[in-house]
Amino acid sequence: MTQIEKMEFKTELKQLLHLITHSLYSNKEIFLRELLSNSGDAINKIRFNSLEHEDVLEENKDWKIRLVLDKDGKTLTISDNGIGMSHDSIIENLGTIARSGTKAFLEQLQGEEGKTRPNLIGQFGVGFYSAFMVADRVDVRSRGPGKPEDGVLWSSDGQGEYTLVSSAKETRGTEVILHLKNEEMEFLDPFRIRTIVRKFSDFVEHPIVLEIANEKKEEGKEEEVLNSRKALWLRSKNEVTPEEHDSFYRQISNDFEKPLKVIHYAAEGTYEFRVLLYLPATLPMEFQFGEVKFGPRLYIQRVLIMEHCEELLPSYLRFARGVVECPDLPLNISREILQQNPVLEKIRKDLASSVLKTLKELMEEDLEKYRGFFQEMGSILKEGLRGDFDNKEKIAALLLFSSLNTPATQQISLQQYVQAMPEGQGEILFLAGESRELVENSPLLEIHREEKRDVLLLTESIDEFTLPWLNEFKGKKLKAVDRLDPEASDKGILEETKSRFNPFLKYLGETLSGISSARLTGRLKDSPMALVSQGMSATQERFLKRIGKGAPEIDSKRVLEINPRHPLVNQLRDIFEEKNDDPRLAQVSSTLYDLALLAEGSRPKDLGEFMKRVQESLKKML
C-alpha cells in the first residue's frame, strides 16, 4: 500500500499565498510565464549537469516543454523533460514558500572557476505559487534521472497543507497539473494560450508545444510549436538581415514603416547585457493620444519579464523601441518591479549614451534625414535638457531651431549658430513665441537685424521651459532678448535725454496699469515702444494660463521700453510737457501700449476700447 504523507508548509502560507495571488502580479496570465520559465530552468540544469555526468542524459534528450489543454478534466498541464525532483528536493522546493531551487543551484556553483555557467532566471518557489491565482488545486508529478518508481506526486489546494506520495513516472522531468477554477476556463482556450506564449515566452530557447487532450492527431501532422525561438538580440549583429529587423520592429511597435536606425550590440564587462533598439522614422501613433507606456522589453533567458521597463530608458528617449536582455539583473519576488541597483543604472546610462550617439551619427551622415526625424521627435528630445544633466551637451548638440537669418523652411543646430556668430558676440540669443511669423516681427529684433546678429526663434511651448536648463553651449551663455537688460538698453542714450524724459516715463508708469515701469531703450529702431519681462516671459505666461496655471497678475506686469528717437514718442513727450492732462496723451499712450501687447503676442486687456480708439484715429485720418 502506497504511503501518503500529509505535511504542513514551513511558513505562514495562507497569508503569503493571498499576497502572491492578489498583490504581486498585475495580471493572472503571468502564471504561465512563470511555469514555462521553471520548465526552461529545469532543462538548462540537466544540460549543465550533463557536461560532467553524461549518464544523466541516458534518456530523453529531445528538449521540449509541453502544454496540454484538457477541457473535460478542466486541467492545464505544463510538462518538461528537465532535471526533475526527488522526494526530498520537492519538499525543499515546494514545501517552503519563496524557496528558490534556481537560486540555490547558482549559489552552489559560485566560486567554481573556469566552468560554464547555465543562464537561469528563476525564483522557483514564488513563481510556482502564482499557479494558485487560477487553480484551486495543483498537482506536481516529478522524478529525476533514474528509475520510474522513483517518481513522486505532490498535491495541494494552497490552504496550508500538501500531500506527498510515491508515484511511478515513466520519463524524467516534471509535469505541473493545474485544476482550474470555474471562473478561469479561458486558460483552456487554445487561442488564449497561444497569445500568452507569444507575448511572454516567444523567444524561450526550447520549443513550447501545444497539445489538446482527446483530440485526434492527424496522421503526418507535426506538433504545433507556439514559440518562434528567434531571439534576434542574441545573435551576432552581422547575422541579422535588414528584413528580419524590419519584421521584428513591426511586431513590437505596430508601426507600418521600417525603423530609421537599428542599435544592436552586446555589452561585456562587469555586467553583461544585450541590446536591440529601433529608432522610428515618424512619431508613434499612440504618442498623439495622451500618456503612453514606454521603455524596452526586458528579457531574462529569452523570457519576457516586463513589457515596458521604464527604468531602462530616460523618458525623453521614449520613442525608442526594442529589447534588453540581462542575466545579471536581479528581480524582486514578483519579477515585475525592478529593484534599484547598480546593474539597472549601468544599463540605463549605456542605452541613453548609445541612442544619443546613434542620433549624432545620423545627423552627421544625413542631415536631411535627421531633420525629418527631429521634426517628429524633437519636442520629446528637448525634455532631456531638463532631466539628464550628464548628457545635456550631447542633447543640445542634437537640437535644431528656426532662426532670424535662416530661411523659414530650414533649421540650424546650436553648433552652426556658434560657428556663424560675428566677432564680438558673446551670447547665444533667442526669442520665444507661438509662431515664426509672430516672433520674427517683434520690435525687439530690430537692433539685431541692423547689427547682423542671428537670433534663435523658439516656436514650441517646451522651448522656454527646457532651454534655460542648458545655460550655455560651447562656452557661450544663452540669453533671451525679451528680458530686461538695463546695460544694453542704456547703450547710446545721453544723460541729457534721460533727464528730459524722466517725468514723462514716470507718468506712463503711473497711468498704464499693465506695466511696472517705463524706461528708455537704445535697442528699438523703427518701433516706438516694446514690452520686456523681468522674470517669466509673456509666452510662458500665456502657455500657463492656457493650461490653467496662470501666474498672479502682479507677476505679469512688464517693463515698457521707449524709443526716444521715434517721432510719435517725441510728440507725446512734447504734449505732456505742454499740458499733462491733454486727453490725447492718455488715448495715444494707451493705444501704443496695446500695440506693444499685440507685438509680443498678447491681447489688449480691453479689446473693445482699443478698437474704438483705432477707429477714431482712422476717422481723423480720413
> Does 386 fall in a domain?
no
pTM: 0.77
Domain limits for position 578:
486-621
Of 367, 382, 413, the residue at which a domain comes to its end is: 367
Total domains in the chain come to 4
Report pLDDT for 112. Answer: 53
d(CA 68, CA 403) in angstroms, rounded, equals: 66
* Same-domain check for residues 320 and 174: no
* Same-domain check for residues 261 and 277: yes
pLDDT tens track for 409-419: 999 999 999 99
Please determine, for residue 50, whether its predicted confidence score (pLDDT) is greater than 80.
Answer: no
* Same-domain check for residues 71 and 211: yes
Complete DSSP assignment for 553-606: GGGG-EEEEE-TTSHHHHHHHHHHHH-TT-HHHHHHHHHHHHHHHHHTT---SS
**How is residue 39 written as a grid cell?**
520548465
Please determine, for residue 105, whether its predicted confidence score (pLDDT) is greater than 70.
Answer: no
Instruction: Tell me the average pLDDT across 389-396.
Output: 94
CATH of the domain at 64: 3.30.565.10
Give yes or no for a contact between 275 and 269, defined as CB atoms under 8 angstroms apart: no
* Same-domain check for residues 362 and 457: no
> Does 385 fall in a domain?
no
> Does 86 fall in a domain?
yes
* Same-domain check for residues 144 and 186: yes
* Same-domain check for residues 292 and 329: yes
Confidence class for position 110, pLDDT limits 50, 70, 90: low
Report pLDDT for 103. Answer: 53
CB atoms within 10 A of CB 501: 21
> Does 374 fall in a domain?
no
Q: Which of 83-87, 157-161, 212-216, 361-365 has the highest mean pLDDT?
A: 361-365
With CA atoms as reference, report the closest residue to 401 among 441, 440, 362, 352. Answer: 440
> Does 510 fall in a domain?
yes
Q: In what order do the strands lie in the sheet with 456-458?
A: 412-413, 400-403, 456-458, 427-432, 476-480, 472-473
Give yes or no for a contact between 497 and 564, defined as CB atoms under 8 angstroms apart: yes
**How is residue 338 written as a grid cell?**
525592478
Please determine, for residue 106, whether its predicted confidence score (pLDDT) is greater than 60.
Answer: no
* Same-domain check for residues 109 and 42: yes
CATH of the domain at 500: 1.20.120.790
Complete DSSP assignment for 95-135: SSTT--HHHHHHHHHTT-TTPPPP-----HHHHHHGGGGTE
**How is residue 142 written as a grid cell?**
516529478
CB atoms within 10 A of CB 297: 21
Question: For the chain, what is the mean pLDDT?
Answer: 85
Report pLDDT for 334. Answer: 45
The pairing of strands 427-432 and 456-458 is parallel
Of 345, 367, 389, the residue at which a domain comes to its end is: 367
Q: In the chain, what percentage of residues exceed pLDDT 90? A: 51
CATH of the domain at 440: 3.40.50.11260
Which residue(s) pair with 210 in the sheet? 67, 224
* Same-domain check for residues 95 and 192: yes
HSE (side-chain half, CA atoms, 13 Å) at 603: 7
* Same-domain check for residues 420 and 354: no
pLDDT tens track for 179-233: 999 999 999 999 999 999 988 888 888 999 999 988 877 776 788 999 988 889 9
pLDDT tens track for 287-337: 766 667 889 998 887 777 788 888 899 999 999 999 999 887 755 434 445
Q: Is 324 exposed, middle or buried (0-12, 13-18, 19+ CB in 10 A)?
A: buried
* Same-domain check for residues 514 and 460: no
Report pLDDT for 549. Answer: 65
Three-state SS at 400: strand
CATH of the domain at 239: 3.30.230.80
Confidence class for position 431, pLDDT limits 50, 70, 90: very high
DSSP-derived letter for residue 338 is B
Give yes or no for a contact between 401 and 506, defined as CB atoms under 8 angstroms apart: no
* Same-domain check for residues 569 and 434: no
> Does 64 fall in a domain?
yes
> Does 379 fall in a domain?
no
With CA atoms as reference, report the closest residue to 32 among 145, 191, 199, 229. Answer: 199
> Does 392 fall in a domain?
no
Which residue(s) pair with 138 in the sheet? 156, 178
* Same-domain check for residues 436 and 474: yes
Please determine, for residue 119, whether its predicted confidence score (pLDDT) is greater than 60.
Answer: no
Report pLDDT for 554. Answer: 39
